[in-house]
A = this chain, B = another copy of it.
Amino acid sequence: MFNDASHHPPAAAQGKQGPTSESSAEKVLNLLLAFSASGREMGTTELSVKLGLHKSTTSRLIKTLVNAGFLQQNPSTRKYLLGISAYQLGYTASRTLNARLLAVAHPYLYGLAQQTGESVAMEMVSGINIILASHVEGPSHLRFNFQQGEVLPINVAAGAKAILAYSSPDFVESCLQGEFKRFNDRTIVSKEDYRKLLKQVKAEGISYDRGERYEDIHAMAAPIFFADGSPKAAVIIAGPASRLTDSFFRSAVSPLKETAATISRSLDL
């Protein structure tokens, strides 16, 4: 009928043009971010309303994005989804950010190891696994030795708990696919118990391991966040149960949280 009406005001007409009208460069990027946010397939019209652009503009931008490989069209639905260039870009970004995280974090890990006298490590997300990415051995003769690159069992690793406590339910569930391995009688093997524990960890901001893997090893961990608020890593203090008592834990909470927070901040620039 008269769908053209469109008497909607010229969007932030006057009023000191706070958000200056977007450049076309900004428009492409916002278009990409729209996909990043929703993840769904979307059509031209849907995108145009979502971004407040004209269909014609949207159509042209999409064409550009498809040519560059950032979007592709699902032939059956005729809608668009993220393409291989977006994937490649993210892969490179991930490597870059991880490298930067490692470089930035190491001195702080070292400082924490000196301060606490125990071994310190950083665990990082890799796909749907959590791996041991970096470590600094403590000054003591009796200390825990981390194994670089190891894929960690998420039910016992303190860092994994800290990371998952702040992760999206979606991601948590994909990590919970496999069976939990039992290492000893303290090991958590029930998925239900584990989910409850994550809530507790999130409330405290710290996760603990009191011998759930190796009976004589205790550990504690705090999450590191990327600029978008997503937890991508954790700092872990680990050592012999005889030294990592509850009183040690209490005294180490602040330094640990502080270290993790400092690393998170340093990533933002």
Contacts and interface: CB of A to CB of B under 8 A. Distances in A.
A161 to B, nearest CB: 19
Interface residues of A, number: 58
B90 A97 contact: no
Nearest to A174: B149
A226 B84 contact: yes
A73 B33 CA distance: 20
A30 B68 contact: yes
A24 B81 CA distance: 22
B26 A64 contact: yes
Contacts of A178: 149-151
A65 B29 contact: yes
Nearest to A75: B269
A51 interface: no
A207 interface: no
A126 interface: yes
Contacts of A83: 93, 227
A73 B268 CA distance: 9
Contacts of A97: 82, 84, 87
A25 B88 contact: no
A269 B83 CA distance: 10
A241 B227 CA distance: 51
Contacts of A24: 23-25
A10 interface: no
Interface stretch (A114-122, A127-135, A138-146, A182-190): A127-135
Contact of A33 (B30, B85, B94): B85
6 contacts: A25-B25, A69-B227, A88-B90, A88-B228, A89-B89, A151-B178
